[in-house]
Amino acid sequence: MNYPFDLKKAIQATSVLLKEHEREQMEYLRLLKLLYIAERETIRETGRPIIGSRYVAMKNGPLHSRVYDLIKGEDIGSPDWGKFFRTVSIEIEQIEPADVDALSRFEIRKLKEVHDRYRNVDTWALVEETHALDEWRKNYPDPSQNTSHLIPIEDVMSGVDNYEDALAAFKDSCKEAYEMQQLFG
């Protein structure tokens, strides 16, 4: 079970990371890694994601499948995304900063913290670091492949203290988020 995808928060989280970067643009592979790490840590610390979505293991590590689709212009939310960002070759560039009103202070701090932690780490070293994550190794056992495999939330949360309770709380929270989405769109 995955959290429903929140396009507004995906746009805002991306904007936070790009604002932290020197030129308000970065390699989109780097962006995908930073978003995944921040999301993973937030789930493990709070039991809730920043963005939601399906997480997939790909050749260059784990990532949000919907954000990757937005970057490629292949998602239904691409027109909204395109108001703020454009993809130029291998980079994503911020056209206009997004408000951050949908993000909590904790989420903004987490995004900035992850950006600062990896500020001086090369993108390919960051890819290698995500290759060391248990959920990637478990769900992408053959690195010679060039495909994607779903990463179950149970694998993202593995190793969390009180795993069973944390997972149950995540699933309850996920169900509640879907119900809210049904009620309010």
Q: Model pTM?
A: 0.91
For 15-59, the DSSP string reads HHHHHHSTTSEEEHHHHHHHHHHHHHHHHHHHSS-SS---EEEET
**pLDDT value for 101:** 97
Q: Which residues of the chain have pLDDT under 50?
A: none
94-126: per-residue pLDDT in tens?
Answer: 999 999 999 999 999 999 999 999 999 999 999
CA distance 85 to 140: 30
* Backbone torsions φ then ψ of 153, nearest 5 degrees: -60, -30
DSSP 64: E
Q: What are the tokens at 14?
A: 């991306």
- 47 Cβ partners below 8 Å, 6+ apart? 166, 169, 170, 173
Domain range annotation of the chain: 7-184
Q: With 0-12 CB in 10 A as exposed, 13-18 as middle and 19+ as buried, what is 36?
A: buried
